[in-house]
C-alpha cells in the first residue's frame, strides 16, 4: 500500500472512529449510570440519519436539516424512554435486551413504512463540497474532514460537561457508585432521563453526519451499535475517555485492516485466496482485539467502577 493510500485510509479510519465515539459515548453513559443495556441505541443513530435526510430535503438546506434533526432525535429518545425504557430499569439485563430488541424490530420496520425500503440520500452542503489537497495529487473530501472536526469538538464539549459541571459530576459519581448518588438525595430518575436524552441526541448527531456519506436505510444502525459495544468493552464501561480512545482504535484498525489485509495476505497466498482470506480476517480484527483486551485487561482501558 502506498503512503498516500495509507494516509487516506488512516483519515477514513479516524472519521469512522469519531462517528463510533458519538454512538458509544451515549451508550457507555447510559450503561455506566443506569446499568441499562440499550440495544435500541443503534436505531437512534438511524433515526438521526432519517430525520436529517428528510428534513434537509424538506427545507432544502443541509444546515437546517442538521439543526432540526437534533431536537427531533432528542425527542425520539425521550419518547422511547418514557414509553419503554423507564419500565426496564429495575428489570434484569435479559429483559432489557429483549425489550430493546423489540424496539429495534419496530423502528427498523417503521422507517420502511414511513420512508420506504429504498435508501435515502442526503446531499453534502455546498460549503463542505469538494476536496482539499493533502499533498500534490492527493485530494481528500472536505466533508469527511468536517466530520472529524465536528466530532472532536463534540468530544471536547462532552469532556467539559462531564468533567466540569455539576450534572457531569453526578453522572460520573453515578457511574462509579449508583447507590451513593441515590443516597445523596439526587433525583436519579431525572438524571437518567437527562443522560438518556443526551445520549440519544449524540447518536442522532452521528447519524445525521454519516447520512451524506452512507446510504440511509433500515437497519443501518445495527453495525455501529455492535461496534459501539466493542468500543465500550475495550474502553471500560462508563468511561468517556475510554470510549474516545477505543473508538479511534477500533475505527482505525477496522478501516486499515480492510484496506491492508488482502495485500498483507498476498505475502503468503495466491491473489484470489489472499483477497478472500484477507477480507475474512479483516472483518474479524476488531473482535480479536476485543478478545485480547478481555483476556489481558478485562475491565477495559479506563476502568470506572470500583469494588
Q: Which residues bind other proteins (CB under 8 A)?
A: 31, 35, 37, 39, 84, 87-88, 91, 93-95, 97-99, 101-110, 112-113, 222, 226, 229-230, 232-233, 237, 275-276, 279-280, 283-284, 287, 290-291, 294-295, 298
* 82 vs 287, beta carbon nearer other proteins: 287
* 52 vs 262, beta carbon nearer other proteins: 262
* 11 vs 203, beta carbon nearer other proteins: 203
CA quadruple 263, 269, 271, 275: dihedral sign: negative
Q: How far is the CB of 277 from other proteins (least distance, A)?
A: 9
Cell of 176: 462509579
Distance in angstroms (rounded) separating the CA atoms of residues 27 and 227? 11
Distance in angstroms (rounded) separating the CA atoms of residues 28 and 37? 9
* 97 vs 142, beta carbon nearer other proteins: 97
Distance in angstroms (rounded) separating the CA atoms of residues 77 and 277? 41
* 62 vs 293, beta carbon nearer other proteins: 293
CA quadruple 122, 127, 130, 133: dihedral sign: negative
Distance in angstroms (rounded) separating the CA atoms of residues 86 and 77? 11
Cell of 23: 454512538
Q: How far is the CB of 292 from other proteins (least distance, A)?
A: 9
Alpha-carbon distances of 154 from 203, 222, 244, rounded to whole Å: 12, 23, 11
Q: How far is the CB of 150 from other proteins (least distance, A)?
A: 27
**CA 217-221-303 angle, 5° bins:** 165
3-state secondary structure of 140: strand
| Cβ(46)–Cβ(220) below 8 Å | yes
3-state secondary structure of 117: coil
* 137 vs 307, beta carbon nearer other proteins: 307
Q: How far is the CB of 282 from other proteins (least distance, A)?
A: 8
Amino acid at each position: 500500500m502506498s503512503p498516500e493510500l495509507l494516509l487516506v485510509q488512516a483519515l477514513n479510519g479516524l472519521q469512522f472512529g469519531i462517528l463510533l465515539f458519538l454512538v458509544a459515548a451515549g451508550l457507555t453513559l447510559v450503561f455506566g449510570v443506569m446499568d441499562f443495556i440499550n440495544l435500541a441505541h443503534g436505531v437512534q443513530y438511524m433515526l438521526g440519519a432519517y430525520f436529517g435526510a428528510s428534513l434537509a430535503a424538506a427545507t432544502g438546506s443541509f444546515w437546517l436539516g442538521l439543526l432540526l434533526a437534533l431536537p427531533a432525535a432528542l425527542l425520539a429518545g425521550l419518547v422511547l424512554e418514557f414509553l419503554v425504557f423507564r419500565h426496564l430499569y429495575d428489570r434484569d439485563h435479559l429483559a432489557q435486551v429483549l425489550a430493546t430488541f423489540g424496539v429495534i424490530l419496530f423502528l427498523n420496520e417503521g422507517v420502511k413504512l414511513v420512508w420506504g425500503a429504498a435508501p435515502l440520500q442526503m446531499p453534502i452542503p455546498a460549503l463542505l463540497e469538494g476536496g482539499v489537497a493533502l499533498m500534490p495529487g492527493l485530494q481528500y473530501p472536505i466533508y469527511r474532514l468536517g466530520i472529524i472536526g465536528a466530532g472532536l469538538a463534540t468530544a471536547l464539549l462532552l469532556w467539559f460537561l462531564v468533567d466540569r459541571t455539576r450534572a457531569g459530576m453526578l453522572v460520573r459519581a453515578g457511574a462509579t457508585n449508583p447507590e451513593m448518588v441515590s443516597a445523596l438525595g439526587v433525583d436519579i430518575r431525572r438524571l437518567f432521563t437527562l443522560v438518556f436524552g443526551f445520549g440519544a441526541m449524540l447518536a442522532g448527531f452521528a447519524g445525521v453526519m454519516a447520512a451524506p456519506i452512507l446510504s440511509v436505510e433500515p437497519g443501518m444502525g445495527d453495525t455501529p451499535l455492535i461496534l459501539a459495544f466493542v468500543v465500550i468493552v475495550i474502553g471500560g464501561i462508563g468511561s468517556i475517555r475510554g470510549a474516545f480512545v477505543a473508538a479511534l482504535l477500533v475505527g482505525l484498525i477496522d478501516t486499515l485492516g480492510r484496506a491492508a489485509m488482502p495485500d498483507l495476505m498476498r505475502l503468503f497466498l495466491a491473489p484470489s485466496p489472499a483477497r478472500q482470506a484477507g477480507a475474512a480476517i479483516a472483518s474479524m480484527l476488531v473482535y480479536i482485539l476485543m478478545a485480547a483486551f478481555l483476556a489481558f485487561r478485562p475491565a477495559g482501558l479506563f476502568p470506572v467502577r470500583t469494588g
